[in-house]
Structure 1
């Protein structure tokens, strides 16, 4: 497929390998007809369809240099125009540069074999989304480390977005994704976003994450009544409050927030959820998280917490260690191998050097190894830390090494935060 390229002012044609959601080998649709996008003079292969909406499809793509990205391809709207494309492009170009917002690499027009032209965004390819994390929570809820990490990252993005005058207007678990390369959560999908006070979309937010004032506005618009464009940045905080409550409880709350009991006194329901789950977590952080969520779920938007105010909550002053499950779910460029080395191997220098070389040789089969560390003392004693050149190699190694045997023992492979590894901080994870 040929295409003409346009500069967004923020693109290098040399797109680095980056991690919308990276397909794993298990998720690639093998029945999908192979598709090529020609982007800036280079052919990119479609690896998987990552999402399908009314107005756009999202694909994971890779180039011959093993670079990866996401392509969001827009269909023409009912009037034959490109409003959705121009809307999201303009918002993204205006807010680029924040670490917790998806990166726009560039834009191009794709011409299909039948002569149909479609507008496309070339975006950073991200990993697992919060919706998938909720599915994997199995009604147990996630760790305080995970919740704090997600809350801080999304609040940082919202604080920036709101300072720029924008309302996201569709914050939900599927629009918060993990970046393996940057080790943080990022916001995507700005198709409903607007400048505060200049709302140009009638229906905002997704059912289950919709603030009361947006619910009222949507109902009036559906009835054909004139509505006041009064949905402020506060609607984003409401959505985040629901997301954090779901992460803590491990339960999707769509039916709960539709109930009359919720509308009459959501604070009581929040208290009940925290009372039910509080045995699993230390009391003080739990109370801080509960109060933070309640501040986001005030019915009156004028009383609702702002993103900046939420970021100074006492909840963020408490350090947490990740659970081992967290490091399985959230990819990074560093792999940690457990159940591999016996203590006896650590104190014989010749044996130790042989093991280091053997492990490096094995790990290099899956990608480019930057460094490898086997600590001789705690913390981290006997664990193998392998830093790969990128998260793609690390994910492939994790997939292939998990369950392998080494010296008669089954290997357990998790990821490990690159930032902590670089600082030499090898914490003991919570089981």
Structure 2
């Protein structure tokens, strides 16, 4: 984002936006950069995100025009945030600001890293994130664009689509036509971008622009952080990293080797190393990286994953005794009771209580959307049902629809 100054009035959170003749109330400020703020907004049962760009004192609309033009050209991919529209907001201080109306997403990889508490994420989560981001990059790079700011904060989970999506295209550019001097964020910056940024700071014109390879470097660092559970900014800035990053990656993997099965660990390590060559020409492309054997291994989510990543399906544990399952009248009563309770929080599409393993005695509730299931999860967790404390997690919609119920989720 370009650095701009703004008055306190302009930075104050608006109470509402009028978008295409409809009033959207601001529920929360989700983030603030130097050039834009992002808000969660609602109108009736609909929710979205608004990215409001600060007023440029020079009168230009560079940041807004750049991001909106890139987003318009790359719409339609499931792993890229959806742009619903653009509008001008007139605030009470008489200032007009340019805004983007965007798909509202959920937890970011940055938040997931904080919650990992230096433990590292499950192979299922790392594989899911890596595949989704590589799919987005394959599409983006095929269209000729470089994201140029891939980092944990710019990869968000979509509860309704059950996938990770790329956001924030404020530094993106067409390969071969780099119109941004300073790209990428410290800690996720490729060596060639580091050099180019330094030259630009010194006022020296660089002949060659950065390529799509900078995005693969950033993703390699993100995946290494997800595996280790640690922020690696200081590590990647160290002389030891510059001298032999491969040895440091090996050390990180050998330190965690006991936690994970060996073969997937080797495949993930090799995938990450393929993205972290100092020479951008030697780095894997996004399309080639998707062919890694790491993506052919099936993983089940951990219970922590199912708590962290919202979906439209809720799974309730510690609710049903075996005795309820084999008395048909009692079983039907329980189903009706659970439906009645769960419909207090949103529209229930289906409800399943398996009588046999896998999933025996667990309650699976499919809601019309993830907003309803999130509200239900918040309000049901810790409640008592028939004298027992309810444990509520989310559950992958795709697995539920296929009738695939995990026997054990560690």
- Structure 2: how far apart are the matches of 1:140 and 1:419? 27
Map 1:1-400 → 2, pairs under 5 A: 35-63=15-43, 65-400=44-379
1:400 and 1:354 mapped to 2: Cα distance?
Answer: 22
How many residues are matched? 399
**In the TM superposition, what is the alpha-carbon distance from 1:76 to its structure 2 partner?**
2.7
2:387 corresponds to which of 408, 411, 417: 408
Q: Deviations for 1:80-109, whole angstroms, at most 9, x for unmatched residues? A: 111110100000000000000000000001
Alpha-carbon distance in 1 for matches of 2:240, 2:57: 40
Q: Pairwise CA RMSD of aligned residues?
A: 0.9
Contact 1:324/1:429 (<8 A) preserved:
no
The unaligned stretches of length 5 or more in structure 1 are 1-31
Cα pair 1:270 1:290 within 8 Å, conserved = yes
Query: Residue 429 of structure 1: CA displacement?
Result: 4.1
Report the Cα distance in structure 1 between the residues aligned to 2:180 and 2:61, rounded to whole angstroms.
15
Question: 2: distance between equivalents of 1:368 and 1:205?
Answer: 42
Q: Is the 8 A contact 1:375 1:382 kept in 2?
A: yes
Distance in 2 (CA, whole Å) between partners of 1:70 and 1:243 is: 25
Could you tell me whether the CA contact under 8 Å between 1:322 and 1:429 is conserved in 2?
Answer: no
Check conservation: 2:13, 2:29, Cα contact below 8 A. Answer: no
1:70 match: secondary structure: strand
Q: CA deviation at 1:34?
A: 6.0
Between the aligned partners of 2:92 and 2:225, the Cα distance in structure 1 is 45
> Unmatched 5+ residue regions in structure 2?
1-11
Change in Cα spacing, 1:223 to 1:429, as seen in structure 2 (3 Å) is farther
Distance in 2, matches of 1:182 and 1:104, equals: 15
TM-score, length-scaled by structure 1: 0.92
State the alpha-carbon separation in 2 of the partners of residues 34 and 256 from structure 1.
40
Residue 308 of structure 1 aligns to a residue whose secondary structure is helix
Q: 1:189 to 1:34 in 2, by over 3 A?
A: closer
- Residue 178 of structure 1 aligns to a residue in which SS? strand
SS of residue in 2 equivalent to 1:128: coil
